[in-house]
A and B are shown apart, each in its own frame.
Chain A
Amino acid sequence: MHILLRGRDIANIKELATYDKHDGFVGLKNALAMTPAEVIDVVKTSGLRGRGGAGFPTGVKWSFIPQHEPVKYVTVNADESETGTFKDREIMEENPYQLIEGSLICAYAIQAKAVYIYLRGEFWDIGDQLDACIEALREKNMVGENILGSGYDCEVYTHLGAGAYICGEESALLNSLEGYLGQPRVRPPFPAQKGGGLYKEATVVNNVETLANVPYIMREGAEAFKAIGTEQSAGPKVYCVSGHVKRPGNYELPMGATFRELLYDHAGGPLHQDRSFKAMLPSGGSGPIVPLTDEVLDTPMSYEHTAEIGTIIGSASIIIMDESVDITWVASKVTKFFAHESCGKCTPCREGTYWLDKVIDRILDGRGTAEDVKRIADVAENMAGTTLCALGDFAANPIIHTIRHFPDDFAQHVQA
């Protein structure tokens, strides 16, 4: 049975009546019966960590919101633009009420005035569906004033982006929502602080999947949630598998399941029987690439274990490459993504992504030298850690790690 991808078990759970019938809004009702601080405590205890990539403990994030501030917001990060990520889309398409319920619980816990769901623009039809859900909930007194007679008021809105990966970065998302360029903000102040959030008010930004976990926690209790997953990585996770596997798609497994289980038992193993796995990007384009060795395959998919093999689980957008793939080309693909998506605000990222792309093109064209390979590694090192937001680090990762793990793939393109 799924906790997040419940649409796979229960037909029509995207209908309010069906959702209702299957324990819908029990979590919300339980939350409304508690004090906001108690709700935050439950989420803290559950060990839920953010599914947007950084894995920050969700309850702790909520507890940063200053209680005395009169105006606070929740923004749901439904920008889902990381290369290889398509989990939030399925959750919202097939199980929209669970996201809204989770958002309302979060909103209640921090006493937010409103929830804004920031969807990537290409998800406009999901936006329409969510708008319809919100209206249906309004009829049932679960959105708007005095929700379920609790005395708590909250609005829920959707907002469409328009094609910019950077708007998934939380402060760029807030700028975009305010009608400014989707460029990251200087921090501090952080979104959770007065001055740093939406309209300068304290704001929680959470990923879709993160919030979709919350109704379960409030329904079944923190301990039940903690029982799933590992010590430091609690709960279920949706893994997006793409690339050279037989059955690409979303798979919901507990955190801590191994890559092998995911890739063989669920995704069906290599796409081409005669080709073996070569490499994996476990966190889309932005995390370090790793060779798909047995050691890696046997690593549990958790925050702590992936760190041990020199990569991250991030948003779990797992891109698989078999032996036919030239990793130099992968580096180029990923770099083109970041050159296209850099917002341009800070120097190392704006200039670095541009030049990495140009020089890798030279290498792929056969115009490059061994010096050029060193050059891009060095440029990437110079970008890392100096940029305004993490996109600069993301863009440096593929270069640094592709060259580190697959030097021969680069060497074959250049004269010594």
Chain B
Amino acid sequence: MSDRVKINIDGTEYEVDAGSNLVDAAKWHAGNDIPVFCYHPKMEPVGMCRMCLVELGTPARDRATGEVALNDDGSPQIRYFPKLQTACTTVVSDGMHIKTETQQVIDARNDVLEFLLSSHPLDCPICDKGGECPLQNLTMRHGPQSSRMYFEDKQLLEKHYPLGDLIFLDRERCIQCARCVRFQDEIVGDDVLAFHERGRRLQIITNSDPGFDTYFSGNTTDICPVGALTTADFRFGARPWELNEVPSISPWDAAGENISLSMRLDRDFDGKAMIKRVMPRQNEQVNEIWISDKTRFGHHFTRSNERLQRPRMRSGAELRDSTWEAAIADIAEVLRNADGDVAAIAGSGMSNEDLWELRRLMKGLGGNRLGAWPPTHGGAESVARAGVGFGTNLGQLGKGDAILVIASDLEEEVPIWRLRLKQAQDRGAYLVVANARDTRLEDFALQGARNDKVVEGDAIRYAAGDAVAVMRDLEKKHKAIAARLSQAENLVIVAGAEGLTLEGSAALAQAAANFLIETGHVGRPNNGLLSPIPGANGMGLHYVGYSPAASLDIAAKPPKVLIVAQAELLDDDPTAQAWLSEVETIIYANFFDGGISELADFMLPLQSFAERDGSYVNGERRVQRFYTAQGPIGQALPAWKLFASLRQAMGMSHLKPSAAAVMLELSKNVPAFDGMRYQALSQVKRQFPDVGSRDQYYGGTAYSNEGGLGIQIPSVADGKKLKPVAISEPEAISAVDGELLIVPVTRLYNRQRNFRPSLLMEPRILAAYATMNPDDAQTLGIIHNDVIEISAGESTLRARVCISDEMAAGAVALPRHMTDAAVPLTMTAGTVSRVSQAVAAAD
């Protein structure tokens, strides 16, 4: 990027990066907003809309000598193209001159807008995009004052065409810019949108089955420069100018997508502010301008009727409504009498502030058993040591770089990472996917060519349970792949936990870290380890001192008093019932009941991410804050306040006034959070591309970042040289005597408590298939679609079977949270038997 060239825009000279796009360069350096519709800086230019026409000239060269011809005054002669040129398809070159303000250019803009408007309906007053519509904005600035065409000759087309359950198309509004088509093709890699017919009849279609519902479909509605694409969730819900944008962070996964909550006082919510829609907020290092559909459409739990409303306390056989004063007094009493035999389990959706106050409470009581939930991924420690280097931006990975994804299905676990890593492969990075079964990312790794571009990748299929050995022995068993990974300029390894026990996943992360350390791929940007640790704050749990191992220890030796905060113990693991019954007092704080009301002694309502301030640490160790958007549900409290109140009630300290104050204290006490005060976390700087700025051409309605870009916690390797550590390899799980290994897998759309209230997504949750290899099926006499029973120890589960040779032999893949009966965490191997088809039919 050090190569710079000089270009002249309307008489002023600017120095810009060589190779940059003319529209981008003019906007970035000259503040000159060349109008565009089809161009989008995240996608290849196509030159379709013709809105960006400019006068373009380059230095004239003498035919014979090749020298630049000079004017009398010694300045280079500029030869202008006879026709206007599209800036969007032009790459800057040294000495280039453009004119953007001449009459010719003004007329051309006016003409193109007239052409577009001649077919566009006049329904701005009822259009979702009205108020933040590039077509509307550009018409105001460059457009004709009235239409010269005949209204009765306009084409009448469908106004509410469902492309799928989530996205609707208004065929009259579409201006055929192909942004949506190109987004699906280039960015997502799922070319399920296309044009049909031609000429003025050209229309967007999808022929996919089911309809248009990729995990990223909602982004098309943002980049659509008109109101042609709308989401089923938001369409006709509000006018953009009634909305109040509140910066937030996606509560779902380790990506930490920056989002903006569009709030409005709403009749549907007793006249209070409610989330009308969730929009991406630009953070080029984290999610660029994209979010997953889960993040966009999964917000309904924040105001679900099922939410806990007020504190409840056990009185004999039942829980009774209570007040906070009474509950806090009673809990303080219980805690005082616990003689230090207390423990806490905290869920990965808790903010850092919550975790800190809970930890202080526990410390004050003499307890140090701090469990992280769910205890399914043990890689946090390794991520803290050898995680991706300070300043990492997956958007910079490309030619010469490499990526290994092992034991993870990123499309389902952290969709934005999968999106960005696929992009990295498109830019030239070498992508290797290792797993015991096929995953979406593996398809990309093996695709070979995409959009006529050669892409490089490999896949490793191992027997279920072998992940650690594969990683440890990569150099021996997969020489060629290991060599390419080692020699890569930059290398990122994503180490998951699929098919592994907690110790297994910790060992895999260690093995991956060792490989990175040994090959010199840690301690610098764009190198190191990533782990799809479940939840939005898996790394926060680690840094504040919680560990998944502690959760297992608590289960093994139940304490007298247990605080369970934002952790769905029974939803995640029905076998927890057994040890929870041994706990004398369970203090349960969460959004929903979580099926634990029979066991809990206190049920305390907590505020969701939308109701309060807080911060999360994402998988790349970036600390990011979110802001209060809506009022609390019932009497719900932010978790930090609940625990701080308990401390106050027990005379340990005074209540802090705000989450910011808690963070201040955290930053002073936990080294990882050094310097992470809210003020610092809220800092923003100009990002390329300039989306959502005053012109809004690029982003449609993606929002520029005003809430803060966050700050990355350095890894240990960022500060000092690391040595590989011995891998504490757990005993291999083996399946003997006709048993099969059980591989719980994650699906993005599932029946987790927080996701269920988003009813729009219900039909998108797939049936709970257990997947097994045809050989195993044959041995066991099972056929496709049978219902099988899987028994392991005390637990049994039923599921319908899908037989696929994409599944490793000797194992059965079981999706977590697909039915109300979860896959117990303890289930690692068991027997499988056919129940009967009669059951299947009755199911």
* A residues with CB within 8 A of B: 164, 166, 178, 181, 186, 199-200, 339-348, 350-355, 358-359, 362, 375, 382, 385-388
Contact = CB atoms under 8 A, between A and B. Distances in A.
Given A347-B116, A355-B149, A386-B111, A342 B199 contact: yes
A375 B115 contact: no
B153 A344 contact: no
Nearest to A350: B200
A189 to B, nearest CB: 11
Given A186-B89, A199-B452, A386-B111, A344 B50 contact: no
B148 A347 contact: no
Contact of B195 (A178, A181, A388): A181
Contact of B199 (A341, A358, A359, A388): A341
Interface string B45-67: 11111110100000000000000
Given A186-B45, A348-B50, A352-B115, 6 more contacts: A342-B200, A344-B197, A344-B199, A346-B48, A347-B50, A350-B115
Nearest first, the 6 closest Cβ-Cβ pairs linking A and B are A344-B202, A351-B115, A354-B200, A382-B111, A342-B199, A358-B153
29 contacts: A178-B452, A199-B452, A200-B452, A339-B199, A340-B199, A342-B199, A344-B199, A344-B200, A345-B48, A345-B176, A345-B202, A347-B49, A347-B51, A347-B176, A348-B115, A350-B176, A351-B118, A351-B119, A351-B200, A353-B200, A355-B149, A358-B150, A359-B149, A382-B111, A382-B115, A385-B83, A386-B83, A386-B84, A386-B112
Interface in B441-455: 452
Contacts of A362: 150, 153
A342 B198 CA distance: 7
B536 to A, nearest CB: 41
A164 B112 contact: no
B195 A344 contact: yes
A354 B199 contact: yes
Nearest to B107: A382
B452 A348 contact: no
Contacts of A342: 198-200
Contacts of A181: 195, 198
A264 to B, nearest CB: 38
A355 B89 contact: no
Contacts of A358: 149-150, 153
Contact of B47 (A166, A341, A388): A388
Interface string B161-190: 000000000000001100000000000000
Contact of A339 (B48, B51, B83, B200): B200
**Contact residues of A: prevailing secondary structure:** helix
Contacts of B111: 348, 382, 386
A161 to B, nearest CB: 13
B334 interface: no
Contacts of A348: 50, 111-112, 115
Contacts of A386: 50, 53, 83-84, 108, 111-112
Contacts of A200: 452
Interface of B: 45-51, 53, 83-84, 86, 89, 107-108, 111-112, 114-116, 118-119, 148-150, 153, 155, 175-176, 195, 197-202, 452
Contacts of A199: 452
A352 B107 CA distance: 15
A243 B200 CA distance: 30
Contacts of A353: 199-200
Nearest to A345: B48
A346 B51 CA distance: 10
Contacts of B51: 347
Nearest to A388: B47
A173 to B, nearest CB: 15
B50 A387 contact: yes
Given A344-B197, A375-B148, A386-B111, A354 B119 contact: yes
B199 A350 contact: yes
Contacts of B148: 375
B50 A346 contact: yes
A344 B198 contact: yes
B224 to A, nearest CB: 16
Contacts of A166: 198
A363 B805 CA distance: 67
Contacts of A387: 50
A344 B201 contact: yes
B204 to A, nearest CB: 12
A388 to B, nearest CB: 6
Contact of B198 (A343, A347, A352): A343
A164 to B, nearest CB: 7
Nearest to B153: A358
Q: Which of B48, B83, B108, B115 has the most CB of A within 10 A?
A: B115
A347 B200 contact: no
Contacts of B150: 358-359, 362
Contacts of A341: 198-199
Nearest to B119: A351
Q: Which of B48, B86, B199, B452 has the most CB of A within 10 A?
A: B199
A388 B118 CA distance: 19
Contacts of A178: 452
Nearest to B195: A181
A351 B112 CA distance: 9
A307 to B, nearest CB: 16
Contacts of A164: 198
Nearest to A342: B199
A359 B153 CA distance: 9
Nearest to A386: B50
Nearest to B199: A342
Q: Which of B108, B111, B195 has the most CB of A within 10 A?
A: B111
Nearest to A178: B452
Nearest to A385: B83
A355 B51 CA distance: 19
A9 to B, nearest CB: 42
A315 B334 CA distance: 96
Given A355-B149, A385-B84, A343 B199 contact: yes
A55 B202 CA distance: 32
Given A342-B200, A347-B116, A352-B115, A388 B50 contact: yes
A359 B202 CA distance: 20
Contacts of B83: 385-386
Contact of A351 (B84, B116, B195): B116
A342 B51 CA distance: 18
A347 B153 contact: no
A166 B150 CA distance: 28
Contacts of A385: 83-84
A225 to B, nearest CB: 27
B199 A355 contact: no
A234 B210 CA distance: 60
Contact of B202 (A340, A350, A355, A382): A350
A382 B175 CA distance: 18
B529 to A, nearest CB: 37
A353 B111 CA distance: 14
Q: Which of A164, A166, A199, A346 has the most CB of B within 10 A?
A: A346
A186 B47 contact: yes
A341 to B, nearest CB: 7
Nearest to B177: A347
Contacts of B45: 186
A205 B173 CA distance: 38
B757 to A, nearest CB: 42
Contacts of B155: 354
Nearest to B83: A385
Nearest to B112: A347
B824 to A, nearest CB: 50
A91 to B, nearest CB: 29
A353 B202 CA distance: 13
A180 B118 CA distance: 28
A200 B452 CA distance: 8
B799 to A, nearest CB: 41
A345 B38 CA distance: 11
Nearest to A181: B195
